[in-house]
Structure 1
């Protein structure tokens, strides 16, 4: 009985030793496999079954005549020089307002009517001064004739001349005041004196804001309307850092809004702000080639910029894959082995992408169809 116990203990010890030895061999195998993976982390080997399922095709670096199209977006704005604040030269009460927010108006159209007794006084002062000036003119001419025959003194003639000059200057000043409030002094007489003046539109455009209402008393410093001249419409678009050097003043662009993407208009880049903002983009300013009512202030817009075509080297788009913001191609090494190689890309179109420093791919066989499948296999293997 004692002998059996010793035998079982010896067997157990032998089992433990064998188990420890097996675990050590397994750890060595994992270590060796890990070292192998690191050495081949940029290559992948396919089985015959994998090759059949992926159905790969190959290509090579090609010389191409390519054109770059940059897609931009932004907003329509109005240049400050084309936003006008309209006020009345003289104070008074608003008698009527002839427009509403968003109204279109033509140059010379009456926007509002202002009424005040001071307008009557101004016209009255003009007519009185005009009559006094005529009397002063006649007196001055009479005194000149009398002075010639020494029938009046030089002092009397000089006084008559001074009175005439003073009244003439006063009349010119009143005439100018009447002009700037919209009253034609030349046609003014005692029968057409009025208490109201009109506020006229200085250009053709749109009403952006109205700051007054009927019956309100306004001062000369008060703004009545904010008007927009559509000629000053500007398109401010964002240009990402990678494309800044390709966008230049004078370039023609095509713009359209989100509501009518099929209706496109021509514009020209008039300014590029030489500063990259926090979001990694600069601002380019464009101006429409002709006034287009389809674009209004604050509207979101899209734009396309065609960069001059150039003769360069590239690959079909599907041959280039992206991973973690970097671009790669797969080189066919033969015997079902494929190597992932980083590349630097340039301009692209709907079929091809430019490859910069393409000499590293010269005379090499590059995977076209199936490149993305190889990327997935490689990354799964690495994981």
Structure 2
């Protein structure tokens, strides 16, 4: 009885294995049964079963009016020439700071006030020299008159002239020193000498860094503020390799940030770095047409480039396949035989892809539906 049960189980196992083996044979993919023509690994021959499975349709090269929209992304940066460090011409103690980090300022606005006794001394030296120069001028004129009548010697005249010239040069130097610390020598008198000077903004912009505190003593070499001039805002945009030939210097673009995507600003591409980076992209530099305070250094931005429409030749998108960074189409040779042909593509839209120098495809039947399946067959054969 036990022997019969074992025999029944063994017979059932044999039938099960046989059934599985049969099913696997039926489920062989079209790739396993693909025949390759003697012409090489760029040609594939399909069986009737494969033709039904793949469902190939064909098309031909077509003349079309095409337009391309290239989308770019990147960051807002500031040109180094528009980042300025501000310091005091002369040392002193910080009396007050009138801005905060990130605040906007206008050209000529007082950023800080510095106080020191040397400012008083400089103004005093100017006023004393000015008075001495006036006395030297009068003496020089008097000596000229006396020398004309030989009442004084030439040496005395020369000494008077040298004194006048020396004091005049000294006064001009002091006047220039006062100018660069923001004190007008023209209106200076003994009644308005001051111990403080103002640090003025050289342009309109934003405060990037404040590097001092109230009461701190600063030297002429110390940086007080780092300022950003927004007119130097540049947009560094990534351009993928397949779009590099379509993006040109001088093109108008629309840019926007992620926080406010509906507010788009005009910009222009001013430079294109002629190299492809490791990530497969090049860098385009754009500049805003008008200053926009919405864009700040370090902000991620997006851009849209409309490529001019042109009348060209193209194929439906699914007729063009890519493999190892190259593009191909399949020509229908008849009798279920197909040949892979390399092509150079141009712009593309939602439906069609431009084929450059496509005259050699004229009058050829090109696979549309099923092109990718044919590519997989060739790929599997190569492997």
Residues 373 and 309 of structure 1: is their aligned pair in 2 closer, same or farther, counting only changes over 3 Å? closer
Taking structure 1 as the reference length, what is the TM-score of the superposition? 0.80
RMSD: 3.2
Q: Is the 8 A contact 2:88 2:220 kept in 1?
A: yes
Where do residues 366-381 of structure 1 align in structure 2 (5 Å cutoff)? 366=366, 368=368, 370-371=369-370, 374=373
Deviation track 1:214-245 (CA, whole Å, cap 9, x = no partner) reads 11111111111111111111111223334334
Q: Check if 1:352 corresponds to 2:338.
A: no
Residues 350 and 35 of structure 1: is their aligned pair in 2 closer, same or farther, counting only changes over 3 Å? closer
Taking structure 2 as the reference length, what is the TM-score of the superposition? 0.80
CA distance in 2, matches of 1:34, 1:351: 32
> Which residue pairs with 2:232 in the alignment?
232
Secondary structure at the counterpart of residue 346 of structure 2: strand
- Greater C-alpha Rg: 1
Where is the helix percentage greater, Structure 1 or Structure 2?
1
The alpha carbon displacement at 1:318 in A equals 3.5
The alpha carbon displacement at 1:139 in A equals 1.7
> Which residue pairs with 1:85 in the alignment?
85
Where do residues 188-199 of structure 1 align in structure 2 (5 Å cutoff)? 188-199=188-199
Secondary structure at the counterpart of residue 183 of structure 2: coil
Deviation track 1:69-90 (CA, whole Å, cap 9, x = no partner) reads 3332221111111111111000
Residues 73 and 134 of structure 1: is their aligned pair in 2 closer, same or farther, counting only changes over 3 Å? same
> Which residue pairs with 2:255 in the alignment?
255
CA distance in 2, matches of 1:253, 1:260: 17
Where do residues 203-214 of structure 1 align in structure 2 (5 Å cutoff)? 203-214=203-214
Q: Is the 8 A contact 1:206 1:229 kept in 2?
A: yes
The alpha carbon displacement at 1:187 in A equals 0.4
CA distance in 1, matches of 2:338, 2:320: 13
The alpha carbon displacement at 1:200 in A equals 0.2
Runs of at least 5 residues in structure 2 that lack an aligned partner in the other structure? 1-27
CA distance in 1, matches of 2:313, 2:150: 104
Where do residues 177-326 of structure 1 align in structure 2 (5 Å cutoff)? 177-322=177-322
The alpha carbon displacement at 1:170 in A equals 0.8
Q: Is the 8 A contact 1:330 1:371 kept in 2?
A: no
Count residues in correspondence: 348
Secondary structure at the counterpart of residue 145 of structure 2: helix
The alpha carbon displacement at 1:261 in A equals 2.4
Q: Is the 8 A contact 1:43 1:340 kept in 2?
A: no
Runs of at least 5 residues in structure 1 that lack an aligned partner in the other structure? 1-29
